[in-house]
Chains A and B, each alone.
Chain A
Amino acid sequence: MAKPIPSRRQFLAAIGNLTSAGWIAMNWPQIAAAAEHAGHGAPDTTAHTTLTTLSAAEAAEVDAIANQIVPGGATPGARDAHVIYFIDNALGSFFAAQLPSFRKGLVEFGSAYAARNGAGAPFSAAPEAQQISWLHEVDKTPFFMAVRRLTVLGLIASPKYGGNYDGVGSKLIGVEDRHVWTPPFGYYDKDYAGFEPYPGTKPYTA
């Protein structure tokens, strides 16, 4: 879920020593609108939450692969981030050109798995250890690489595309979704003493 933009008070406090508060006050509606459009406004209500491209059986297989690429556990994984809805949405829209080869790869993946393990149950129904073992055998194939690529995209991309549900992917990588930051930004700039000029130089400002 996207966080709301900072409050007007927070925003002014954040940049108070860097810019004109008067300008900000005058232009607040524009900045707020820009921030909202930039992905920091109200929660996105258009996220994809149903399958529209892949069949349920196809989605189950892809979801199982994705969840081994970024497994859940103590912290959320691909399944918790609803990566499958991103993949389904992507292959039905902006990556539609990849759908035929993706489907072909999925069929080949299933066939090879069945040839090795028997046709009785799909990959997604296998115990975790068996899934991992099989993926080690196929993780150089173009199909696996495509699922991996889509999984990372779906984990981190904007929730409006269907993945990164509730921002769990962003949280996983440590990214806090905000529009405005002020120093210190990280651990190492907290105690920076300021730029020390080099011998022989004379820095000067306007």
Chain B
Amino acid sequence: MDRKTYKTSETVDFVIVGSGASGGIIARELSRAGNSVVVMEQGPRMTPGDFEHDELKYRYLSGITNNPATNPQSFRKDPSQKAERTGSNALTYARIVGGSSAHFNANFWRLHEIDFIEGSRLGPIAGASLVDWPITYAELEPYYTKVEWEVGVSGLAGASPFDPWRSKPYPMPPLPVKSSGVLFERGGRKLGLHPYPSPMAINSMFYKGRPACVQCGLCGGYGCEVKAKSSSVWTVIPEAEATGLCEVRAESYVFRIGMNPAGRATGVHYYDHDRKEQFQKARAVVVCANGAETPKLLLNSATSAAPQGLANSSGAVGRYLMFNKGGGAQARFENPLNEYRGANVTRVIHDFYDSDPKRGFYGGGGFDARSGGPINWGQNVPKDTAAWGPEFKEYLESYTYWMSCSGHGTSLAQETNRVDIDPELKDAWGVPAMRVTYKDHPDDLKHANWQVQRAAEIMDAAGAKQIVAEPVGEARGGVHLLGTCRMGNDPATSVIDKHHRTHDVKNLFLCDGSSMVTSGRGQPTLTIEALAFRAGEHIAQFARANEI
């Protein structure tokens, strides 16, 4: 297919920065509405044949993720410390067309109604900024459904007594259960819990021109070379391009948003494939670069009129960084599970989703049964197991007998947890690099430790021979990058309004994990994509009404 291209001298209707979970959807919605669109993506465009089953490359050599050698970050726990650059980055995300939707595990949980109103129900909490969203579950529900049907999600509606209401079932049945799912379900039911088939953005059947999963087992961290995983690169981006109005410009690193004296965005400055500076003109800019890159871009776009950074009159840009803190346990069973086969997750438990004041701390979450790649698994041994020699070898030989029961939970928003710009560090393009400041809220640590105990109980009830409680440490980074340009009605305390327009710049919109007000309980991508469909619809309406 001949793909549409635009000259940088042309003023397109929209430049979208980022081609991932949200950028791809907004590109589709805006181009289908008749707008000219250029999507800027830092990384390359990969074909199915480019994705490899290579754990070393993808897990250790930044094969498709931000590389600490070229995209460095600094980290500190506390604002009083000097942030240090380390060998690995605190915040990890895919850097290819499709963004992190290309390498996600594809767990697609909806938020529950409570997620949107926890501030008024459970707040205030000392040291945290727990506030309500400016939208409700009811407002987002149609867009959750839209994601499930337009992008493709498999699952079993109505199976969990704890699921929020929904207007339609999943378009595809659940994926086949794995041994970890069977054991997890066995243990959960024995304890009176309600495990159910996990909703996954992976085709369980031929759907929308893409095949069913071939169960190769390499989802999280990998691209899907058969296109069964519902990543933007295989779903909405080709649909956006099919309009003839959308260009996806790979290897184009946007480093500053252009502004005019009237306070309007005029386009984006970027480095092209040859690291040559370019400028793409646009009527409006939509930043969907993820919860790390979006605040970095805004802060690096400071002007004399906005010296704190673009759209940052509230001072909230980059603040309230959240991950999804959780705790779990590994368990060894009598017979082989072969967890390296099949989609990563097949059963989930949401009995403990809500925060329960009786526990004495804030926090809630879900559990799932999952596995990890062998290289990563082999690097760590349980306490009391020899780290080398014949006993270690026996441990390696037991790889297929293990599974993880993983808890995924809340992280409280805290003003001091943030992404900002390191005063000294620059990346390989000479762009000021991000500085990450993060320290878990005490309640997040308590909840994670509480989850470890529940996970161990589930595995014990499942009949595990050996259970290894995973120690809960202080977070030094994450992959769910949330809250750094929070949505809200008050321009003094939030960055974007409920339609994703920045409070400060009329023709600048943001939509990705940074928009989230609370962390949810893990697996934020479905919510990010639902927000993107909703944002795309509203932005298209604004464009039609000449209100951008």
* Nearest-CB residue, chain B, relative to A160: B54
Q: List 15 A-B contacts (CB under 8 A).
A: A19-B203, A19-B205, A19-B212, A30-B48, A36-B49, A155-B378, A155-B396, A156-B55, A158-B55, A173-B374, A181-B341, A185-B341, A186-B178, A187-B337, A198-B194
B interface residues, Cβ below 8 angstroms from A: 48-57, 60-61, 156-161, 168-174, 176-179, 181-183, 185, 194, 196-197, 203-206, 209, 211-217, 225-226, 333, 335-342, 374-375, 378-379, 387-390, 392-393, 396-397, 399-400
* Nearest-CB residue, chain A, relative to B401: A174
Contacts of A111 in B (CB 8 A): none
* Nearest-CB residue, chain B, relative to A21: B206
Binds B, one of A46-54, A102-110, A189-197: A189-197
* Nearest-CB residue, chain A, relative to B334: A187
- A sample of 16 more A-B contacts (CB under 8 A), given A19-B211, A23-B206, A152-B378, is A19-B203, A34-B226, A37-B51, A38-B51, A69-B392, A148-B387, A158-B57, A173-B400, A180-B215, A183-B342, A184-B179, A186-B339, A189-B178, A189-B181, A200-B161, A204-B158
Instruction: Please report the C-alpha to C-alpha distance between residue A148 and residue B396 in the assembled complex, in whole angstroms.
Output: 13
Q: Which listed residue, A15, A19, A69, A158, touches B54 by the CB 8 Å rule? A: A158
Q: Which listed residue, A20, A33, A184, A203, touches B159 by the CB 8 Å rule? A: A203
Known A-B contacts A148-B388, A181-B215, A186-B338; A205 and B169 likewise in contact (beta carbons under 8 Å): yes
Answer whether residue A59 sits at the interface, using C-beta atoms and an 8 A cutoff.
no
Contacts of A201 in B (CB 8 A): 158-161
Answer whether residue A99 sits at the interface, using C-beta atoms and an 8 A cutoff.
no
Instruction: Please report the C-alpha to C-alpha distance between residue A132 and residue B386 in the assembled complex, in whole angstroms.
Output: 13
Q: Is the CB of B389 within 8 A of A192?
A: no
* Nearest-CB residue, chain B, relative to A193: B182
Q: Is the CB of B61 within 8 A of A94?
A: yes
Contacts of B159 in A (CB 8 A): 195, 197-198, 201, 203
Known A-B contacts A30-B48, A173-B399, A188-B183; A69 and B389 likewise in contact (beta carbons under 8 Å): yes
Known A-B contacts A94-B61, A153-B375, A186-B335; A181 and B214 likewise in contact (beta carbons under 8 Å): yes
Contacts of A189 in B (CB 8 A): 176-179, 181-182
Answer whether residue A116 sits at the interface, using C-beta atoms and an 8 A cutoff.
no
User: Which residue among A19, A20, A27, A178 has the maximum number of chain B CB atoms within 10 Å of its CB?
Assistant: A19
Answer whether residue A161 sits at the interface, using C-beta atoms and an 8 A cutoff.
yes
Answer whether residue A77 sits at the interface, using C-beta atoms and an 8 A cutoff.
yes
- How far apart are A139's CB and chain B's nearest CB, in angstroms? 6
- How far apart are A87's CB and chain B's nearest CB, in angstroms? 13
Contacts of B194 in A (CB 8 A): 198
Contacts of B399 in A (CB 8 A): 173-175
* Nearest-CB residue, chain A, relative to B377: A173
Known A-B contacts A186-B337, A204-B157, A205-B173; A179 and B179 likewise in contact (beta carbons under 8 Å): no
Q: Is the CB of A70 within 8 A of B214?
A: no
Contacts of A155 in B (CB 8 A): 378, 396
Q: Is the CB of A34 within 8 A of B49?
A: yes
Give how many A residues have a beta carbon under 8 Å from the other chain's beta carbons.
67
Which A129-182 residues have C-beta < 8 A from chain B? 132, 135, 139, 148-149, 152-153, 155-158, 161, 170, 172-175, 178-182
Answer whether residue A60 sits at the interface, using C-beta atoms and an 8 A cutoff.
no
Q: Is the CB of B341 within 8 A of A186?
A: yes
Known A-B contacts A34-B49, A153-B60, A186-B178; A77 and B342 likewise in contact (beta carbons under 8 Å): no
Contacts of B54 in A (CB 8 A): 39, 157-158
- How far apart are B180's CB and chain A's nearest CB, in angstroms? 8
Instruction: Please report the C-alpha to C-alpha distance between residue A179 and residue B225 in the assembled complex, in whole angstroms.
Output: 10
Q: Which listed residue, B171, B375, B400, touches A174 by the CB 8 Å rule? A: B400
Which A23-78 residues have C-beta < 8 A from chain B? 23-24, 27, 30-31, 33-40, 68-71, 73, 75, 77
Answer whether residue A14 sits at the interface, using C-beta atoms and an 8 A cutoff.
yes
Q: Which listed residue, B171, B205, B375, B392, touches A18 by the CB 8 Å rule? A: B205
| Across the A-B interface, the 3 shortest Cβ-Cβ residue pairs | A186-B179, A187-B335, A34-B225
Known A-B contacts A23-B206, A183-B342, A186-B338; A195 and B156 likewise in contact (beta carbons under 8 Å): yes
Contacts of A192 in B (CB 8 A): 177, 182
- How far apart are B204's CB and chain A's nearest CB, in angstroms? 7
- How far apart are B195's CB and chain A's nearest CB, in angstroms? 9
Q: Which listed residue, A11, A175, A187, A195, touches B196 by the CB 8 Å rule? A: A195
Known A-B contacts A70-B392, A183-B342; A205 and B170 likewise in contact (beta carbons under 8 Å): yes
Contacts of A37 in B (CB 8 A): 48-52, 225
Q: Is the CB of B52 within 8 A of A39?
A: yes
* Nearest-CB residue, chain B, relative to A27: B211
- How far apart are A35's CB and chain B's nearest CB, in angstroms? 7
Answer whether residue A115 sits at the interface, using C-beta atoms and an 8 A cutoff.
no
Answer whether residue A202 sits at the interface, using C-beta atoms and an 8 A cutoff.
yes
Instruction: Please report the C-alpha to C-alpha distance between residue A175 and residue B400 in the assembled complex, in whole angstroms.
Output: 7
Instruction: Please report the C-alpha to C-alpha distance between residue A18 and residue B172 in the assembled complex, in whole angstroms.
Output: 11
Instruction: Please report the C-alpha to C-alpha distance between residue A80 and residue B290 in the assembled complex, in whole angstroms.
Output: 44
- How far apart are A193's CB and chain B's nearest CB, in angstroms? 10
Instruction: Please report the C-alpha to C-alpha distance between residue A143 and residue B110 in the assembled complex, in whole angstroms.
Output: 46
Contacts of B174 in A (CB 8 A): 195
Q: Is the CB of A23 within 8 A of B211?
A: yes
Contacts of A20 in B (CB 8 A): 206, 211
* Nearest-CB residue, chain B, relative to A149: B379
Q: Which listed residue, A15, A18, A34, touches B48 by the CB 8 Å rule? A: A34
